[in-house]
Amino acid sequence: MARINVTLNDEGGYILTSVNLEHTHIYSPGNARHFRCFKKVDALVAKRLEINDEAGIQMVKIFKFLLVEAGGYENVPSGEKECRNYIDKARKLRLEVGGVEALCNYFRQMQQKNPDFYYEMDVDDDLRLKNVFWADVRSRATYQSFGDVITFDTAYLTNAYKMPFAPFVV
């Protein structure tokens, strides 16, 4: 029975013609957290998930700890499935031992395929990776044609090593 009717007016806007707020069932706003659009892993939970995952703690135990700390399911904005998906994604983005070497090998292969592929890597005094820059052939060609606009965004992603991902989008 609950519904809202609207009509399109002559100016391209909408006019509200009728509203019926009666429901044929009991509704509970408190259960809205079960809808997918509300199941987000917030930044604090994400950081805890990553720290515990890197320490080798199982997801079941991590999630139980989050539940106890929050005071129950109703106080946790995401479920175990969302936490598990977040960790799977974080693991794919994490550079493990040998990750820098794999990245170097990948860039060398790309440059062998096309000499116009460009990359630079910067390391600190302890030979730890500080900065990585690469530009594929298509990006470089596009820049040659439309070099007047570049977007630079370092807030996109920061990985477990506190290194921002800064894509140049032409």
Give the pLDDT mean for 70-90.
Answer: 83
pLDDT-derived band at 111, boundaries 50, 70, 90: very high
Q: What is the pLDDT of residue 150?
A: 59
User: Which of 74, 93, 112 is a domain's end point?
Assistant: 93
User: Which of 93, 124, 151 is a domain's end point?
Assistant: 93
Give the pLDDT mean for 21-36.
Answer: 71
Q: Tell me the C-alpha distance between 75 and 100, whole Å.
A: 39
- Both 76 and 110 in one domain: the answer is no
Residue 108's H or E segment, with its range, is helix 99-113
Q: Is the dihedral of CA 47, 48, 49, 51 positive or negative?
A: positive
- Both 11 and 77 in one domain: the answer is yes
pLDDT-derived band at 47, boundaries 50, 70, 90: confident
Q: Tell me the C-alpha distance between 99 and 103, whole Å.
A: 6
Strands of the chain (E only): list them: 3-8, 14-20, 118-123, 129-135, 151-152, 157-158, 164-165, 168-169
**Residue predicted with more confidence, 146 or 93:** 146
Give the pLDDT mean for 32-50.
Answer: 77
- Both 119 and 42 in one domain: the answer is no
Q: What is the pLDDT of residue 117?
A: 92
- Both 32 and 103 in one domain: the answer is no
pLDDT-derived band at 132, boundaries 50, 70, 90: confident
C-beta separation of 145 from 135 below 8 A: no
- Both 46 and 18 in one domain: the answer is yes
- Both 104 and 82 in one domain: the answer is no
The range of the structural domain enclosing residue 29 comes to 3-93
Give the pLDDT mean for 14-21.
Answer: 89
Q: Tell me the C-alpha distance between 113 and 106, whole Å.
A: 11
- Both 137 and 164 in one domain: the answer is yes
pLDDT-derived band at 88, boundaries 50, 70, 90: confident
| Predicted confidence (pLDDT) at residue 112 exceeds the cutoff of 90 | yes
Q: What is the pLDDT of residue 160?
A: 56
Q: What is the pLDDT of residue 163?
A: 65
C-beta separation of 116 from 95 below 8 A: no
Q: How many CB atoms lie within 10 A of CB 105?
A: 11
Q: What is the pLDDT of residue 22?
A: 83
| Predicted confidence (pLDDT) at residue 140 exceeds the cutoff of 60 | yes
- Both 115 and 77 in one domain: the answer is no
Give the pLDDT mean for 126-138.
Answer: 80
| Predicted confidence (pLDDT) at residue 151 exceeds the cutoff of 80 | no
- Both 126 and 106 in one domain: the answer is yes
- Both 83 and 158 in one domain: the answer is no
- Both 125 and 60 in one domain: the answer is no
The closest of 109, 99, 116, 114 to 160, measured between CA atoms, is 99
User: Which of 77, 93, 109 is a domain's end point?
Assistant: 93
- How many structural domains does the chain have? 2
- Both 18 and 79 in one domain: the answer is yes
The mean of the pLDDT values for the chain is: 79
